[in-house]
Structure 1
Amino acid sequence: MAPGESGQPQASGDSAPVASSPPLPPPEKPSAVRQRSYVVLSFWLVVLLLGLPIWWKTTAIYRAELPLDRMLKWADGKACRPVFPLQISIQADSLQEQEAQNLIRLTQHALDDLNDFSGHHLRLQLAPRNAPLPRDDFQTALTIRLKPGTSSSASLNQESAVLDITYPPNHVPSLTSPSSPLASYITNELRATFAEEQSIISYLLSTSSMSTGVRPQGLSAEAAEALSKRTTRSLRYAPTYHLTFSLFTDNALPNTWDIEAALDEYIRPMLEVLRPIHNFTIDTQIQLYAIPGVQSQVLSKDHLSSFINAAEWPLSPSIGKAPTINFVIYIGNQTVGLDAEAETAQSWMIPQWGTVYLLSQPDTESHVSTAALKQPMLTFGGHLLSLMGTPQSGSLPLRLSTLGRIRSTDLLLRASSTLGSLARLSLALPSISIPRSVADGVSKTMHHLELACADLGGPEGLMHARIAEEEAERAFFEKSMVGQLYFPDEHKIAVYLPLLGPVFVPLLMGLINEVKKFIKEAKQKAQEARSKKHQ
């Protein structure tokens, strides 16, 4: 063993080295702390004072102010009471002036006492002696011509809105009589003349929200069902309709037809009468080798829906905004079987579409004459009136004046209902934008509704009701509004969160740290203040 070495460890006066903790960073200078706080504060000031106002301004939804209360009043029937003041002119040249005035007074009292439909105000007036019959006088709904005779009878003129009434001379009321058989007879005839119009208008009012203030006429379940079918069958009102007359054949013949002459003789005169209410455009076409969807000779009601082969027949589509009404003549040997086995028909009407007429003609005939087109054209004319919603009873001029009042009512109700829907939509979706054009459309709608309500019985009322309905539809279906109906708030969150999340997390964490530090310093100062106080 080497000198100085031994098996025992040698004692040493020095201790073993001890591991020391890492040195702490030097404390921050107060200027650096203030600088960091100023940086955090400046970021938040930029966000709050500049970023948020710019974001709010650029993303704010413009909502034009709408008169919601007035719109809901129109929808609820509180802004307009649909009333039709019908002027009835009475020609009583065979009576003395005082007798005629007394008869009108008694008849007016009888009408007012009945008052079974408050929407109709029949107002009687005495026509001047030897006055000609009014033509195109929209102020006079009906003219009554009184003539002495052997018994009481009434006849409605088929070419004008004139009701001829004959009466026995002893039915003329005396000046002191409180009632008169002639007055009662005239009252009953007036009620019968306008009964269908009252039923239709009453049905329209009863199925809308504007029946407030107008007591609907009592309708039976059968009558209401019939009116419902008629309303479903007729076309929706449009200022212009496009009429297409088509000739379809199952072979190469016939290939010509006298359609222009037939239209001039049977269709265009009726269209001229309808022109104050609707405008019409017409086109014609011929299609050879047209194959129907059903080959059966006797067509049942089940076959009618599939008879028209839309894939093979080039039926004209709607031209522009004008709905198309199709009138088809098919040359073949088919007939339509009715419920009774022995009865057949040659035509049928398709609701809101048009009419198909099955015309039989020899296979060798190459031309369809005007005489052969007479019955199809007459059928088309009658079906056209039905598709327009024209009443079925009365003379043609009287039915057309009634049609004008029915259309005015329908348009008034639809425009008012659209206003209510728009108001409820605005209240239900506070985040949807309302452009200025919508507010202007609502203002125009209510203006024309007021004018229409003031003159429902005349052509001016129909014109204003049509404009009101168009403006209401345009306002409700504004493109910028329709697109936002399908933009929920959840979608906005999904768009903003990925963009703003990475930006706000550092700002928020910095703000939290500064707040914690401020609280810590405040506590330390408070503790030091208490220590000095105890000392």
Structure 2
Amino acid sequence: MQPIHCHSYLRIHRIKNNGNIMSNSSESVGYDSPSDASYRIYASISFAILLLGVGVPLWWHTTAVPRVALPYDGIARLSDLEIKISTKIFVAAFTQDRANLLADEIRDGLKSAAGGPKLTQVLSDWVLLDKSLALTRNALAEPTQFSLDKENRRRFPANPAYDVLLTLVNPYPEKLSVNWNFPTVIDEYVKPFLDEVSVVANFSLKSQWLYLMPLEMTPKQIPDSTILGRHYALPEDVLQQIITPLEKKLASQISLNPCINLVMYTPPCDQAPLHIYTRTGHRSRPASNIEAFLSPRWGGVVIANPPVETCKEMEDQGKVTFIPDAAGIMGFFIFHLRLLLGIPDLAPISGTSIVQLDNSKPRQWELDALLRIKAVEQLTSAKLTLQSLAQLLEEISNIVITDTVGDRINGALELVEDSAKKLNRGELLDGFALSKEAFVTAETAFTDPSLLALLYFPDDQKYAVYIPLFLPVMIPVLLSLTNIWKHIFSKKESKENKVDCDKNTEEIEKPKTD
């Protein structure tokens, strides 16, 4: 009960009932009427709702970085995924007892760290390549603890496609005419080999001729007992210097695929025969007219010297016609291809020999060993790529993750797991095909250009752009919220006071009526 307010209310109420003189005289110019104040409050409320309820959420949605959900837990479990390849070994013997005995010896020898009989050593070192597989996996997963051996450093990294470029270099065409038919040689020697290993990757064969490209060094002349009385020495230490000027002219970067270079260099008669000397000062191939060397992960070079007899007979004619030995030269090229793709040069085992090939095709067990090495390499690379990508996307929230990238990451994860299961069951071809697809999918996801869309626009730059835009608009709105708050609560208080005064008025007026 507040009697003072009630008396004042009653006084005003009576005056208003008596007439409108007091109410009219109380109006003054320059002040808003109650209806104007209400309109102003309603306008402030509408502006606040429009800005805070519609504008801010719409801005937040349209400027948010799109990021689809990724299987981070599944990618993290790849660290515990072991790559095991099962292989069936069939033992043939004249009697069943002898076959069982050999099978037991092989089983015990493969389990023993010390090896076993010679047959077990052949299986482990030549066929299964256990050590090479383990080193390939460990060197990729933990490069700081394991270093690649000679075979892994020489082999081309895993890739779905390669370019094979055959080049014949004739530095002095005015002195030497080379009679060489590239299409025939490729179809007879190189193509059958590449057709057999096409399951590993896709190969594109190309050939070219290069002229007027002499060596950028002068070989040392060495006297000998031949009919020419001399030959030229090329030290082994400077062989890589030959590749540098050649690489500028080879046009090997004609596609995005790695290029395997196979180069045949034909020196003229006045600079032939050209032989490679080892670091010990001896010829690398004393009984051959063909010299060759290999550059890891680049290719091979064959030096085809014209015959000494031909150079002697045509010494006075000025120009010599040379027909290279196709079988010998292409034999070196095939050997280089085998090493560069991953078919190793097997270390000899005493008392054991390998049946020589009668063609350029690889042996079936060599192809299986290559598939196992490539499967391990591709699976390990796919695992590392997915884990690196997941770590990058977790740490940098500003990277866009589109549906395409998300589908590729999920697909690569499933392919890795399916490939590991098939390899563990001994399904080599299917497991290798899935590992190849997983490798390609993971690399495609990692190199997707959409990942770099917003990396150049960090959060501090966002604040620098949006604060000058929103701050002048938000300050009046926020201040109007305080006025709205005061207006709402003042109306509530006035209503409560009015109700109390009405009750008091009734109590006062009742005695007067009586």
TM-score normalised by structure 2 residue count: 0.71
**Aligned partners of 2:394, 2:337: CA distance in 1, in Å?**
42
Matched, 1:427 2:364: no
What does residue 217 of structure 2 align with? 294
What does residue 379 of structure 1 align with? 332
What does residue 173 of structure 1 align with? none
Which amino acid counterpart does residue 382 of structure 2 have in structure 1?
A
Preserved contact between residue 326 and residue 355 of structure 1 (Cα < 8 Å): yes
Alignment of 1:149-160 (within 5 A): none
Structure 1 pair 319–391 and aligned structure 2 pair: CA distance change class (3 A): same
Query: Percent identity of the aligned residues?
Result: 26
Matched, 1:260 2:213: no
**Aligned partners of 1:303, 1:523: CA distance in 2, in Å?**
99
Preserved contact between residue 433 and residue 481 of structure 1 (Cα < 8 Å): yes
What does residue 19 of structure 1 align with? none
What does residue 466 of structure 1 align with? 436
* 1:336 CA drift (Å): 3.7
Matched, 1:45 2:15: no
Which amino acid counterpart does residue 85 of structure 2 have in structure 1?
F
Higher helix share: 2
* 1:92 CA drift (Å): 1.2
Structure 1 pair 410–205 and aligned structure 2 pair: CA distance change class (3 A): same
Preserved contact between residue 434 and residue 481 of structure 1 (Cα < 8 Å): yes
What does residue 149 of structure 2 align with? 228
Which amino acid counterpart does residue 451 of structure 2 have in structure 1?
M
**Which segments of 5 or more consecutive residues in structure 1 lack a partner in the other structure?**
1-23, 118-182, 212-220, 527-535
Matched, 1:206 2:138: yes
What does residue 249 of structure 2 align with? 314
Structure 1 pair 251–473 and aligned structure 2 pair: CA distance change class (3 A): same
Preserved contact between residue 263 and residue 300 of structure 2 (Cα < 8 Å): yes
Residue by residue, what CA displacement relative to the aligned partner does 1:301-328 show, whole Å, maximum 9, x if unpaired? 5543332465896313345443221111
Which amino acid counterpart does residue 439 of structure 1 have in structure 2?
G
Q: Which moved more, 1:303-312 or 1:200-209?
A: 303-312
Q: Secondary structure at the match of 1:463?
A: helix
Q: Secondary structure at the match of 1:393?
A: coil
Matched, 1:350 2:282: no
* 1:486 CA drift (Å): 3.6
What does residue 108 of structure 2 align with? 110
* 1:509 CA drift (Å): 4.5
Q: Secondary structure at the match of 1:247?
A: strand
What does residue 452 of structure 1 align with? 419
**Aligned partners of 1:359, 1:101: CA distance in 2, in Å?**
49
**Aligned partners of 1:101, 1:357: CA distance in 2, in Å?**
46
Matched, 1:507 2:507: no
TM-score normalised by structure 1 residue count: 0.69
Structure 1 pair 310–241 and aligned structure 2 pair: CA distance change class (3 A): same
Structure 1 pair 186–300 and aligned structure 2 pair: CA distance change class (3 A): closer
Preserved contact between residue 292 and residue 309 of structure 1 (Cα < 8 Å): no
Which protein has greater RCO, CA pairs closer than 8 Å, 6+ apart? 2
Preserved contact between residue 256 and residue 366 of structure 1 (Cα < 8 Å): no
* 1:517 CA drift (Å): 8.4
Matched, 1:341 2:341: no
What does residue 279 of structure 1 align with? 202
Say which of 240, 246, 250 aligns to 1:305: 240
**Aligned partners of 1:258, 1:368: CA distance in 2, in Å?**
12
**Aligned partners of 1:414, 1:92: CA distance in 2, in Å?**
41
Structure 1 pair 340–323 and aligned structure 2 pair: CA distance change class (3 A): same
Residue by residue, what CA displacement relative to the aligned partner does 1:375-434 show, whole Å, maximum 9, x if unpaired? 332222211111112222175523322111000000011111112122212321234332
**Which segments of 5 or more consecutive residues in structure 2 lack a partner in the other structure?**
1-27, 221-232, 286-290, 348-353, 355-361, 497-514
Q: Which moved more, 1:359-368 or 1:500-509?
A: 359-368
Preserved contact between residue 155 and residue 340 of structure 2 (Cα < 8 Å): yes
**Aligned partners of 2:58, 2:327: CA distance in 1, in Å?**
74
**Aligned partners of 1:302, 1:487: CA distance in 2, in Å?**
50
Q: Which moved more, 1:101-110 or 1:447-456?
A: 101-110
Which amino acid counterpart does residue 348 of structure 1 have in structure 2?
F
Preserved contact between residue 154 and residue 296 of structure 2 (Cα < 8 Å): yes
Matched, 1:359 2:304: yes
Q: Secondary structure at the match of 1:241?
A: strand
* 1:44 CA drift (Å): 0.9
Q: Secondary structure at the match of 1:422?
A: helix
**Aligned partners of 2:244, 2:125: CA distance in 1, in Å?**
44
What does residue 158 of structure 2 align with? 237
Matched, 1:409 2:376: yes
Alignment of 1:483-494 (within 5 A): 483-494=453-464
* 1:521 CA drift (Å): 10
What does residue 73 of structure 2 align with? 69
**Aligned partners of 1:321, 1:301: CA distance in 2, in Å?**
31
Preserved contact between residue 418 and residue 473 of structure 1 (Cα < 8 Å): yes
**Aligned partners of 2:177, 2:248: CA distance in 1, in Å?**
16
**Aligned partners of 2:410, 2:434: CA distance in 1, in Å?**
13
* 1:290 CA drift (Å): 1.6
* 1:36 CA drift (Å): 2.6
What does residue 84 of structure 1 align with? 85
Residue by residue, what CA displacement relative to the aligned partner does 1:37-62 show, whole Å, maximum 9, x if unpaired? 32222211101121122222322333
Preserved contact between residue 248 and residue 288 of structure 1 (Cα < 8 Å): yes
What does residue 270 of structure 1 align with? 193
What does residue 157 of structure 1 align with? none
Structure 1 pair 110–270 and aligned structure 2 pair: CA distance change class (3 A): same
* 1:454 CA drift (Å): 2.5
**Aligned partners of 2:150, 2:142: CA distance in 1, in Å?**
21
Preserved contact between residue 197 and residue 367 of structure 2 (Cα < 8 Å): yes
**Aligned partners of 1:32, 1:45: CA distance in 2, in Å?**
20
* 1:467 CA drift (Å): 0.4
Structure 1 pair 294–524 and aligned structure 2 pair: CA distance change class (3 A): farther
Which amino acid counterpart does residue 132 of structure 2 have in structure 1?
I
**Aligned partners of 1:369, 1:331: CA distance in 2, in Å?**
11
Which amino acid counterpart does residue 68 of structure 1 have in structure 2?
Y
Structure 1 pair 508–374 and aligned structure 2 pair: CA distance change class (3 A): same
Preserved contact between residue 392 and residue 399 of structure 1 (Cα < 8 Å): no
**Aligned partners of 1:509, 1:465: CA distance in 2, in Å?**
63
* 1:488 CA drift (Å): 1.6
What does residue 135 of structure 1 align with? none
**Aligned partners of 1:229, 1:191: CA distance in 2, in Å?**
18
Residue by residue, what CA displacement relative to the aligned partner does 1:231-286 show, whole Å, maximum 9, x if unpaired? 23321222332211111122223254233343344433332332332332222211
What does residue 529 of structure 1 align with? none
What does residue 16 of structure 2 align with? none
**Aligned partners of 2:482, 2:236: CA distance in 1, in Å?**
80
Structure 1 pair 485–200 and aligned structure 2 pair: CA distance change class (3 A): farther
Structure 1 pair 335–189 and aligned structure 2 pair: CA distance change class (3 A): closer
**Aligned partners of 1:413, 1:511: CA distance in 2, in Å?**
60
Q: Across the two proteins, how many residue pairs are aligned to each other?
A: 422
Preserved contact between residue 294 and residue 303 of structure 1 (Cα < 8 Å): no
Which amino acid counterpart does residue 88 of structure 1 have in structure 2?
I
